[in-house]
Amino acid sequence: MDCHRNPIHCLVPDYLLREIAKRGGAEHRDAALDTLGLSATLRSARTQAEARRAAIGPARPPAAALRKPKVNRVIRNAENGEDLNSRIARQEGDPDTGDAAVDEAYEYFGTTWDFWFEVYARNSIDGAGLTLDGVVHYSQNFDNAFWDGDQMIFGDGSGQLFTRLTQSLSVCAHELGHGVIQYDGPLEYQGESGALNEHCADVFGTMVDQWRNGDTSEDADWLIGKEILAEGVTGKALRSMKEPGTAYDDDLLGKDPQPANMEDFVETTDDHGGVHINSGIPNKAFYETAVGLGGHSWEEAGRIWYTALGNPQLRPTSSFRRFARLTERVAAQLYGSGSKQADAVEAAWASVGITLHRTGAKGEARGRFVRA
Amino acid sequence: MAEPAGLRLSFRRSGGLFAGNVLATSAPVDDELAPLVERANLPALAERSPISGPGADVYQYELVLEDDRPPQRVIVQQTAVPDELRPLIERLERRAEDERRRG
């Protein structure tokens, strides 16, 4: 670090750097941001993310303040094997291959990257230009897509439950969202914090889908993975954020088990403690916030949620209640205490059984137990 | 070493991108499974359980080995499956899928 060139690099604590970045002129702002960036080994990635987001500010068109970086995509074809280091089928700048899974992954990674940069001025998953790596045609009859900590992996589906998983933008953006959560959270993948991890990935997945379509919160379908249910499956999607528990009711899959209220919280040892089940509760709270505020989900509700995810007060094992409090606090910081945004967040959490301001109230009642 | 008579193994796969895709089977430890069970050394893995790994939307595998002793229970995440356990999981997964297809 060069202490002689600019004293701001040596002496100023983080909170002041963030204020300088927010309020200072261009030169000071750049110096403050440089310093925050240079101190990567000394500060957590999460603190930096918060500072950069605070510096960009809610009102300023974010992309205009920065020179636009470039997306970098690498799509590998596992050819129905399980080698994650298989041959590269398409990389940045290459033309269409004619392989639908390869081309869909490439296109939807690009759409998702554009969303993150144009809406939140975030350069890729890590905020620092990380290459978007994906593997398609993974394994045989593989009814899943997942984030392995480094890259996104997609099966072709068995044709009985799901079809090619790359067909769904909300699924691709959900998987990429897990990467963002890993860098900004993180949220431990178990129990309530795991359900928050899943919830945030659904929030990002649906926002990318809605942004691509130009949907308002009122008009959007709020479905995750509507494109991939196989023919013959009775259902409309993997999950409904608008109406958790109604996405499918099928002989093979059973009925959608997602609750929409803390009264119906599911205690289970399956699925890392029900991470894809209980995520229905915060999903519904986000939907209610977005619809309550009107307009587009990514403008206010999404900004509140994204900022809360990067807030240092979020713990890896945070509960729904802690996250709810944090979203309300962030809404008050961004838009003012007593603002319609803060009120909408509080009302949305109350609607799913998490009350934030009633003295002595626990605010939630635990419900069902599925299996030992 | 042959497994004791009456040994039974239950397998359950849950998780993935979606809550409804649960796969399960339960079977006696027969000649086909016995060498895979022995290689997996489930009692040793049970002491490390739950075995977690990186990532999200990955499968969770749960194996329970039952006989007249307290059952040995192993929960392991897809990205953290030890090499010695992988052949047993693959065999049980195929068996559970066949059973689901047959209804």
Q: What is the CATH number of the domain that holds A225?
A: 1.10.390.10
Q: How many domains does chain A have?
A: 3
Task: Report if residue A50 sits inside a domain.
Answer: yes
Task: Report CA torsion sign: B17, B19, B25, B29.
Answer: positive
Q: What is the mean pLDDT of residues A260-285?
A: 97
Task: Look at A146 and B56 and tell me if their CB atoms are within 8 Å.
Answer: yes
Distance from CA of B4 to the nearest CA of A (A): 26
Domain with residue A151: its CATH number is: 3.10.170.10
Q: Which one is predicted more confidently, A30 or A262? A: A262
Residue A366: its pLDDT value, please?
63
Q: What is the mean pLDDT of residues A87-116?
A: 98
Domain shared by A15 and A80, yes or no: no
Distance from CA of A171 to the nearest CA of B (A): 9
The partner residue sitting opposite A146, judged by closest CB among B17, B22, B100, is: B17
Of A184, A201, A223, the one marking the end of a domain is: A184
Distance from CA of B93 to the nearest CA of A (A): 12
Domain shared by A131 and A85, yes or no: yes
Q: Which of A261, A278, A276 is nearest to A354 (CA)?
A: A261
The partner residue sitting opposite A271, judged by closest CB among B15, B52, B97, is: B15
Residue B5: its pLDDT value, please?
57
Residue A63: its pLDDT value, please?
53
A195-212: per-residue pLDDT in tens? 999 999 999 999 999 999
Domain shared by A128 and A217, yes or no: no
Cα A2 to Cα A8, A10, A51, B36: the distances in Å are 10, 8, 21, 60
Give the position of tokens 């004293």. Answer: A7
pLDDT of residue B55 exceeding 80:
yes
pLDDT of residue A145 exceeding 50:
yes
Task: Look at B20 and A248 and tell me if their CB atoms are within 8 Å.
Answer: yes
Cis peptide before A69 (omega within 30 of 0): no
User: Phi/psi at B5 (nearest 5 deg)?
Assistant: -65, 150
Domain that holds residue A176: 73-184
Within 8 A of B18 by CB-CB distance, chain A residues are 144, 225, 238-239, 276
pLDDT of residue B76 exceeding 60:
yes
CA A116/CA A309 separation, integer angstroms = 14
Instruction: Supply the pTM of this predicted model.
Output: 0.83
Task: Look at A272 and B100 and tell me if their CB atoms are within 8 Å.
Answer: no
Task: Look at B12 and A270 and tell me if their CB atoms are within 8 Å.
Answer: yes
User: Phi/psi at A144 (nearest 5 deg)?
Assistant: -160, 160
Task: Report if residue A1 sits inside a domain.
Answer: no
Within 8 A of A155 by CB-CB distance, chain B residues are none
Distance from CA of B65 to the nearest CA of A (A): 16
Kindly give, in sequence order, each residue whose CB lies less than 8 Å from that of residue A17, ignoring residues fewer than 6 positions away: A8, A32, A35, A36, A51
Tokens of A128: 């620092």
Which of the four pLDDT bands, split at 50, 70 and 90, describes residue A159? Answer: very high
Residue A253: its pLDDT value, please?
86
Domain shared by A163 and A198, yes or no: no
Q: Which of A129, A9, A142 is nearest to A82 (CA)?
A: A142
Q: Please name the residue of chain A whose CA is at the shortest distance from the CA of residue B56.
A: A147
Q: Which of A220, A196, A218 is nearest to A207 (CA)?
A: A220
Within 8 A of A248 by CB-CB distance, chain B residues are 20
Task: Report if residue A3 sits inside a domain.
Answer: no
Within 8 A of A165 by CB-CB distance, chain B residues are 17
Task: Report if residue A2 sits inside a domain.
Answer: no
Within 8 A of B60 by CB-CB distance, chain A residues are 270-272
Percent pLDDT > 70 in chain A is: 78
Task: Look at B15 and A238 and tell me if their CB atoms are within 8 Å.
Answer: no
Within 8 A of B16 by CB-CB distance, chain A residues are 143-144, 146, 276
Residue A23: its pLDDT value, please?
40
Highest mean pLDDT among A65-79, A302-316, B14-28 belongs to A302-316
Tokens of A274: 């029900």
Task: Assess contact for A125 and A172: CB atoms under 8 A.
Answer: no
B11-54: per-residue pLDDT in tens? 999 999 988 889 999 999 999 999 999 999 999 999 999 999 99
pLDDT of residue A287 exceeding 50:
yes
Residue B19: its pLDDT value, please?
86
Residue A357: its pLDDT value, please?
79
Task: Look at B56 and A197 and tell me if their CB atoms are within 8 Å.
Answer: yes
CA B76/CA B51 separation, integer angstroms = 5
Of A123, A155, A184, the one marking the end of a domain is: A184
Residue A358: its pLDDT value, please?
57
Q: Which of A338, A291, B65, A248 is nearest to A258 (CA)?
A: A248
Residue A367: its pLDDT value, please?
62
Which of the four pLDDT bands, split at 50, 70 and 90, describes residue B4? Answer: low
Of A125, A156, A184, the one marking the end of a domain is: A184
Q: Please name the residue of chain B whose CA is at the shortest distance from the CA of residue A202.
A: B17
Domain shared by A238 and A301, yes or no: yes
Residue A49: its pLDDT value, please?
45
Q: In the A/B pair of chains, how many CB contacts fall below 8 A?
A: 89
User: Domain map of chain B by residue range?
Assistant: 8-102
pLDDT of residue B2 exceeding 70:
no
Which of the four pLDDT bands, split at 50, 70 and 90, describes residue A297? Answer: very high
Q: What is the mean pLDDT of residues A90-113?
A: 98
Q: Which one is predicted more confidently, A361 or B7? A: B7
